[in-house]
Amino acid sequence: MLLSTLCVILAAARQAWTQSSTVDAYIASQSPLAKADLLANIGPSGSKSMGAKSGIVVASPSNVNPDYLYTWTRDSAVVFQVIVDQFSLGIDTSTRGEIDNYVASQVIIQQVSNPSGTITTGGLGEPKFNIDETAFTAAWGRPQRDGPALRSTALITWANFLLTEGNTSYVTNTLWPLIQNDLNYVAQNWNQSTFDLWEEVDSSSFFTTALQHRSLRQGVQLANALDQTSVVSSWTTQAGNLLCFLQSYWNTAGYITANTGGGRSGKDANTVLASIHTFDAAAGCDALTFQPCSDVALSNLLTYVNSFRSIYPINSGLANNVAAATGRYPEDSYMGGNPWYLTTLAVSEQLYDSLIVWNQQKSLNVTSLSLPFFQLFDSSVTVGTYASTSATFTTLTSAIKTFADGFVEIVAEFTPSSGSLSEQYSKSDGSQLSAADLTWSYAATLTSFDARAGVVPASWGASGLTSSCSISTGGGGGGGSSGTVSVTFNVDATTVFGENIYICGSVDALQNWDPDTALILSAANYPIWSITVDLPANTEVQYKYIRKFGSSLTWESDPNDVINTPSGGSFIENDTWR
């Protein structure tokens, strides 16, 4: 029996070594190709940028079926976050000219009037522009409010690096005005509906909310460093509201619901991408900010990956502890609904980020929520904390590294010898589909490889954050934990710009009438403001809505609103502001 067990262990180790060698070879060959292909899509001198202005990122050179020959604020910021991170960490310091060009291009783009408005009337929410820096005026899913958040974080990262070099004047005179424009937009508009990063659903988006929260936290740090303190109070307040709202996306079935609308399951790469784009190693495995190694993020990752196992033929026959090709969301039908390179790589990156933190803190924690994830790799593991000196830590981290490498190996299998990466690869045979040379595919390749190598991006301030709004992980299917009922409050309330609606009431879940910690509602379906809260079952609950605008606070008029919660299930209460 002992010999048999030893043979199994050796076979697994041999398989892991073979896979690791394959991934090592792929990274060695693909890294320079991916970087070159990424830069080829940036104007003015990129070989595939097709006449783009200086500093403009072309989403893809493809101009027919589909036509991606535009510059997206979101995609461009993701690309330059990679470039700035690699420059500031000393990985590639040859790109200063490209960074300077990008900054100059965004000075122009921010001021371009477009169908979403001007710079003062909502124009920063415009998702894409022509590559000659003019407005794209055809019908589109607009606004998309993730762009300003992502652009500001890339620029803040660059600003922080330049401050270490003593280049304060450039940061203050050139970068700060751009950053302030974006973050004022975030602070003023985060609670309004937005099209998600796939440009299909108009509601609230986990990806957008998470990136908006990060951007304001980073912005406050930079504002203090530059003594630009007039914005600190407003941005800090809205960052707190965003952190609170971020918790509302959690589904007690064990995953993050990507969008508040759309009529889909909510299982979506949106959530994995949000986790890696808000990675802050200094925050450890913090669940409040959905850090990659948090139990909520790992539970979500497992649910997301498993949702594709039975719908893609190329995943047929794979065991649950083996990597699988993943796409945007299981209900996807765009171009036939196929896996994407960037989403498959995002899974690997979240796992590599997790390994970075576990190795730094020299332990990992298994909770009841993350237990099913860890049991993929050791069926005997139980809830508890495992030090790096333990055999369990070694077993788990080694197996998770192999699991992560498996997602890169899938991408490697479907990468041609040229290294070119399209947007999608076929769910049937892995052949490339949709837009050729997608710039974000190359960016995702580079960030996954860097994470595997243990590269740690600069901290953005996620460590030590607290919120009166916490994640409830009990129960399932949105029905609340034992003895609770999921109650959705909808209130019809017309507000002025910058004003928000809150709720508090007579039970712990409604903050026991404390207006300072009242729960903020979403205006995704304005003028209907909404929030879903788990309340005690079979209970009379009194509550009121509150208006907050800056430091002013207005209670709804008397008497208190009252509901009697049912014994189980869910409940919807529709109100009108009094």
Instruction: Cite the active site residues.
Output: 196, 199
- Which run of H or E residues covers position 350? helix 341-361
Q: Which two tokens stand for residue 24?
A: 């090592």
Q: Are 381 and 325 in contact (CB under 8 A)?
A: no
Q: Are 114 and 473 in contact (CB under 8 A)?
A: no
Q: Whole-angstrom Cα distance, residue 146 to residue 188?
A: 13
Q: Whole-angstrom Cα distance, residue 54 to residue 63?
A: 19
Q: Are 411 and 341 in contact (CB under 8 A)?
A: yes
Q: Whole-angstrom Cα distance, residue 359 to residue 342?
A: 25
Q: Are 330 and 265 in contact (CB under 8 A)?
A: yes
What are the CA-CA distances from residue 534 to residues 182, 253, 291, 297 (Å)?
35, 14, 24, 21
Q: Whole-angstrom Cα distance, residue 195 to residue 127?
A: 9
| DSSP assignment letter at 457 | P
The torsion angles phi and psi of 172, rounded to 5 degrees, stand at: -70, -45
Q: Whole-angstrom Cα distance, residue 56 to residue 44?
A: 8
- Report the candidate in 291, 217, 212 with the shortest Cα–Cα distance to residue 245: 212
Residue 54, Cα to own-chain centre: how many angstroms?
Answer: 28
Helices 146-164 and 96-109, axial angle in degrees (round to 10): 140
Q: Is 358 annotated as a binding residue?
A: no
Q: Whole-angstrom Cα distance, residue 81 to residue 57?
A: 12
What's at 50, amino acid-wise? M
Coil, strand or helix at 340 = strand
∠ Cα 126 82 301 (to 5°): 85
CB count in 10 Å sphere of residue 495: 17
∠ Cα 349 350 356 (to 5°): 85
What's at 465, amino acid-wise? L
Residue 19, Cα to own-chain centre: how many angstroms?
Answer: 28
Binding site for substrate: what residues are annotated? 140
